[in-house]
Chain A
Amino acid sequence: MIEKTVAELSAAMTSGDISSVELTQSYLDRIHKANDSLNAFITVCDDTALEQARVADKSRAQGNQNPLLGIPLAHKDIFCTSGIKTTCGSKMLENFISPYNATVVDKFNQAGVVTLGKTNMDEFAMGSSNETSFFGPVRNPWDLEKVPGGSSGGSAAAVAADLCAMATGTDTGGSIRQPAAFCGVTGFKPSYGRISRWGMIAFASSLDQAGPICKSAEDAALMMNVMAGIDPKDSTSADREVEDYTSTLSDSVKGLRIGIPKQHFAEGLSADVEKSIREALREYEAAGAILKEIDLPNSHLSVPAYYVVAPAEASANLSRFDGVRYGHRCDNPLDLEDMYKRSRSEGFGDEVKRRILIGTYALSAGFYDAYYRKAQKIRRLIKNDFDEAFKEVDVIAGPTSPHTAFSIGAKTDPVTMYLEDIYTIAVNLAGLPGISIPAGFSNDLPIGLHIIGPDFGESKVLNAAHQFQLFTDWHKAKPAAKGGI
């Protein structure tokens, strides 16, 4: 049962085939069996999860028909959860218990979901392999020697290996989509502002966006129905009507105009990935979609611009971790400066420090125009590229990542790591919705198809992804290593 989609589990609970308590216990058992190998969870909430499941079963018996009622979920450990540790993958917050819930957490609680625990992640969401976590790397369920991608690697691995039915993630430059691709699951980053950021520990405020990681586009739509919406506590959340994202899933792709950016099929893309993606596009074509090559001329600027904007914002966002009010404080500080220096030196890992330094540098007097201001200009150029493209196409499709999951410890050079997100980053800079769905394998490792929509084109993206999952089975494939974990 634990391998099923949310939609299937919901039906099974409605028909009485299984209770939420039974289902929750199955997932907990699975976590306790597999987490030692995967390291996908930082915190597991056995007692409260079962209690929530009991409440959900009762509520269902009383007629509650919420499709997510009693579905066991895992939260990325970046979402503040009242009473449950929220570490953000960092020693800085190793023992931090938030006194409040993120809006996303509240919304899932109100929908009656069961929270199984908190998933591992790159420290402060800074990483593309989950290797920067203070709690150790997450392992890819398809091959335990490979990374699961990052930063939402714990959530993607947990969904792939059936440690939960669904999970939350966050995506600043590809942190939902790339791990979804590496782990063979569905991961959706909505438009900037679609989901409240309240209670989501900030990495880069103008880029961060929460989203679902799950087993199908349909499940993503179900989760989006809960997660989306304006929040008075987040001034950047969008004041736009929330659609029922499931209502347009079954629309035909006949006549759907799919843009194929030539820059996403250029040098650096592995042959296997290209082959699978081209294959996937042919499936669309066979279903009546129209493929059209498009130009995103400023694509090559997206990674450099991102690595100015995101670290700049991060350098300020992470200033609050100063050892004064909460979080790690060094022992026996000599004075204030010593306390700042040692608390932060001890509390943050290398990648976080690197990005704080980059960001601090980029904002420094004399460099601001050359870096930050210029990066913001590039951001507008990139957005314009997409705006132009969407005059001619309905969605844009290509590979999520240039290759499949790489080996743990293989990428030691930060710049090589930063290039991991070459196809996903522009989508964050432009604030657009994007999804990664399974579309094939290379050497038994999953390949992700990336579908990008226009501003607040969530429904279009989910519809295109769902249709693909109707005529392919890639999303149903289960990790070969599963038996071993």
Chain B
Amino acid sequence: MEWETVIGLEVHVTLATKSKLFSGSAVAFGAEPNTQANIFDVALPGTLPVFNEEALRMAVKFGLAIGAEIGKRSVFDRKNYFYPDLPKGYQVTQLDFPTVGKGSLTVTLDDGSERTIGVTRAHIEENAGKSLHEDFSGMSGIDLNRAGEPLLEIVSEPEIYTAKEAVAYLKKLHTIVLYLGISDAIMAQGSMRCDVNVSLRPKGSDTLGTRTEMKNINSFKFVEKAIYSEFERQKDILEDGGSITQETRRYDADRDETSSMRSKEVANDYRYFPEPDLLPIVIDDDYIEKVRATLPELPDAKRARFCDQFGLSEYDAGVLTSTREMAEYFESVATKTGDAKVAANWVSGDLQALLNKSNLNITDSPIQAERLTDLISRIKDKTISGKIAKTVFEAMADDSSSVDEIIESKGLKQVTDSGEIEKLVDDVITNNPDQVQQFKDGKEQVIGFLVGQAMQLSKGKANPGQVNQILRDKMK
């Protein structure tokens, strides 16, 4: 039987507010344990939550970016359970009235085709703290720095059908969140986390099978592998006539397999009820429009514009809009040099390679847009050749001097003085009598070799066009 995978994703992103969701504590990553936990965060008796409206603004921004319905009245609820890293004994979240309702994301797959995937909802909630089970000789430590950080949980419809689609969805979500500036969304640091729900059904069926959930997968690659692995496991069970247990499973990346996290699955009863310490959040159209006015140009719109305005291919435009920073970088260079094609090649080629090699973000690039613009300008005004430009570019990576200073100090300026080139050409003609004769006999392609010789003599600095012309003149 042929099986179809049905995947639903629950993605948590940490909202990049300055302080926590309900307290004034800072939320910097990597601080010493419990240095960012105030009396509310440790749930001292008598303390009360005060909602951080910045989180609302960010959630609404996200909702607008995915064309979602915005909840005009969102209500916080208490989700009750005991755990040492949950200081109040309940997590404040939004159950029935989330801030963001139904929306959708359009993803582009590897074959260039597009799919629109529904987002069921996105709600604001607080993070729990962290339990540390090592270094306490048999006891556990609790770090409450994370407790109360604002999260946005984005829930997809179960209408993702392949692991590739799941990854495309996650990448798109990641891109949008970064474009909006509402989260760092760094999976390795946990500021973006993913729970994956997987079920199988016979191809063509429209009922959903029993699903399993894999929690807190922290890279795109592992999401993909976990789905494949879970597909195989479920398929084996179903084809053997077995049935799937609804449960939470852990994906072990080292062994590339999933294992049951709770062997005796107890249905948790979280006893949700409206949080009486907080009033419902009520917003009006005016508020929504004000947030809408702050939306940046989103990746899809930007990509379309790049194709249109700069004549880029879909593919190039996709690469160049994959992050807001790269798009801004490219656009700056393209506009200032007036040559979008060349700018695109440099940014998606040499620059990207350099950044990958040194593992840097474009914002930390040693070659900023202004210097790349200067470099391209020097090619266009023939100060250097395209080939020399690569050498200059390499030098720029380690040298913060201006492009002109580097060209000057390394003596890379293109030779355009015809007297100098004539001397070079004379040397080449003298030293290569055989080839000269072959050319004169009509073997046109030998010219390439001779130009190359001249270029070599000039250490690449001679203008190849001029060399070519003068060679031909002299060999007539």
Contact = CB atoms under 8 A, between A and B. Distances in A.
Contacts of B84: 322, 324, 336
A221 B142 CA distance: 46
Contacts of A80: 44-46
Contacts of A312: 273
Contact of A319 (B89, B140, B276, B277): B89
Given A86-B45, A236-B279, A372 B39 contact: no
B173 to A, nearest CB: 31
Nearest to B271: A363
A79 to B, nearest CB: 8
B276 A206 contact: yes
B87 A320 contact: yes
A93 B88 contact: no
B89 A316 contact: yes
B47 interface: yes
Interface string B48-90: 1111000000000000000000000000001010101001111
B43 A320 contact: yes
If over half of A's interface residues share one DSSP class (helix, strand or loop), that class is named, otherwise mixed; here it is loop
B46 to A, nearest CB: 4
Given A205-B277, A316-B273, A363-B80, A322 B45 contact: no
* Most chain B Cβ neighbours within 10 Å, of A86, A93, A322, A340: A322
A352 B77 CA distance: 23
Given A322-B89, A360-B271, A372-B273, A98 B45 contact: yes
Given A205-B277, A312-B273, A319 B46 contact: no
Contacts of B78: 316
A98 B269 contact: no
B82 A319 contact: yes
A16 interface: no
A482 B424 CA distance: 122
B196 interface: no
B280 to A, nearest CB: 11
Contacts of A233: 48, 50
A199 B46 CA distance: 4
A235 B45 contact: no
Given A319-B82, A319-B88, A322-B89, A313 B276 contact: yes
B367 interface: no
Contact of A368 (B43, B50, B87, B273): B273
B362 interface: no
B162 to A, nearest CB: 35
B152 interface: no
B122 interface: no
29 contacts: A80-B46, A88-B45, A98-B44, A98-B46, A197-B48, A199-B46, A199-B47, A200-B46, A201-B46, A206-B276, A232-B50, A233-B50, A235-B277, A236-B277, A316-B78, A316-B88, A316-B90, A316-B271, A316-B273, A319-B82, A319-B88, A319-B89, A319-B90, A324-B142, A325-B142, A363-B80, A364-B269, A365-B271, A368-B271
Interface of A: 79-80, 86, 88, 93, 96, 98-100, 102, 197-202, 204-206, 232-236, 312-313, 315-316, 318-322, 324-326, 336, 340, 360, 363-365, 368, 372
